[in-house]
């Protein structure tokens, strides 16, 4: 079955710097890659997603890139702010296995 | 209404109790999910309902029993739980079972004594 790995497990950046979180997946049939943000004590919420027919997607300070050949995808957050502090989960999904597989998560701390 | 709601927010139960968790969505989503989440871990899929039918059971012990009475409601019946079942139980819904955003409820914090 699909396996999603995520690095780093913890990340600490200064406010205003960029943060990058990287994920890899194993199943070449995976074709949908969402990213969820979970603040402490809150529910996971989708922040951005990308489908396999697209290499990059951007939404204001957040961007995601996908390399299908290498089975890598990454989250880029620019001009980080303290409210970006949270746990970020990458995930993979496919109609072939009909569910979402989450990575283990990255705890991001933005230091004011 | 673009939210998934869950009740109760907190639940404490003994190992011999029977309780139920409830989840509701009014977004017309056809897929609904139960996840279990331990601290500092990702959500762990338990069950998937598609068009009110159970489509995935991730080998969950029978002390957890899901039910989907209609397209808007999802229940999780609990019986004879163990202390290691203490966790945050998240419900989610999505327009379809794959390749679409999942909307999570706020969760039920369950403690089994």
Query: Which of chain B's residues have a Cβ under 8 Å away from the Cβ of A103?
Result: 42
Give the confidence band of A76 by pLDDT, cuts at 50, 70, 90: very high
Give the confidence band of A52 by pLDDT, cuts at 50, 70, 90: confident
Which 26-45 residues of chain A touch chain B by CB within 8 A? 31-32, 34, 42-45
d(CA A2, CA A27): 5
Token pair 């809150």 is at which residue? A42
d(CA A109, CA B22): 33
Output the pLDDT for position B13. Answer: 94
d(CA B14, CA B81): 8
Q: Is B97 on the interface with A (CB under 8 A)?
A: yes
Query: Which of chain A's residues have a Cβ under 8 Å away from the Cβ of B41?
Result: 104-105
**Closest to A6 (Cα-Cα) out of A69, A65, A66, A90:** A90
Cα-to-chain-centroid distance, residue B101? 17
Do residues B54 and B45 touch, judged by C-beta distance below 8 A?
A: no
In the predicted model, what is the mean pLDDT of residues A57-73?
Answer: 96
Do residues A49 and A31 touch, judged by C-beta distance below 8 A?
A: no
Q: Which residue has the higher pLDDT, B110 or A98?
A: B110
Residue A97 has pLDDT above 90, yes or no: no
Burial classification of residue B20, based on how many CB atoms lie within 10 Å of its CB (0-12 exposed, 13-18 middle, 19 or more buried): middle
Tokens (6 digits) for B82: 């163990």
Mean confidence (pLDDT) of chain A: 95
Cα-to-chain-centroid distance, residue B1? 19
In the predicted model, what is the mean pLDDT of residues A84-112?
Answer: 93
Positions of chain B with pLDDT lower than 50, given as ranges: none
Out of B40, B43, B99, whose CB is closest to A31?
B99
d(CA A35, CA A50): 9
Output the pLDDT for position B102. Answer: 94
CA distance B47 to chain A (A): 10
Q: Is B101 on the interface with A (CB under 8 A)?
A: yes
Cα-to-chain-centroid distance, residue A80? 15
In the predicted model, what is the mean pLDDT of residues A66-93?
Answer: 97
In the predicted model, what is the mean pLDDT of residues A3-30?
Answer: 97
- Chain A residue at shortest CA distance from B91: A43
β-bridge mates for residue A25, sequence order: A4
Token pair 């994920």 is at which residue? A23
Least-confidence region, from A12-16, A65-69, A94-98, B32-36? A94-98
Give the confidence band of A22 by pLDDT, cuts at 50, 70, 90: very high
In the predicted model, what is the mean pLDDT of residues A24-53?
Answer: 95
DSSP for residue A98: T
């Amino acid at each position: 079955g699909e396996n999603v790995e995520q690095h780093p497990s913890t990340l600490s950046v200064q406010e205003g710097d960029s943060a990058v979180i990287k994920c890899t997946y194993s199943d070449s049939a995976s074709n949908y890659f969402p990213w969820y943000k979970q603040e402490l004590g809150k529910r996971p919420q989708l922040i951005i997603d990308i489908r396999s027919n697209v290499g990059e997607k951007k939404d204001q300070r957040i961007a995601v890139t996908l390399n299908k050949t290498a089975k890598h995808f990454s989250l880029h957050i620019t001009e980080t702010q303290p409210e970006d502090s949270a746990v970020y989960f990458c995930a993979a999904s496919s109609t072939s296995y009909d569910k979402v597989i989450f990575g283990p998560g990255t705890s991001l701390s933005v230091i004011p | 209404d673009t939210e998934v709601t869950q009740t109760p927010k907190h639940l404490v139960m003994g190992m011999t109790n029977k309780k139920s968790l409830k989840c509701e969505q009014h977004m017309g989503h056809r897929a609904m999910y139960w996840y279990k989440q331990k601290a500092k871990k990702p959500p762990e899929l338990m069950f998937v309902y598609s068009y009110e039918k159970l489509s995935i059971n991730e080998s969950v012990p029978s002390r957890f029993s899901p039910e989907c009475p209609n397209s808007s409601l999802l229940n999780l019946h609990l019986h004879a739980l163990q202390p290691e079942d203490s966790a945050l139980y998240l419900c989610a819904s999505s327009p379809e079972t794959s390749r679409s955003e999942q909307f999570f409820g706020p969760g039920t914090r369950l403690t089994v004594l």
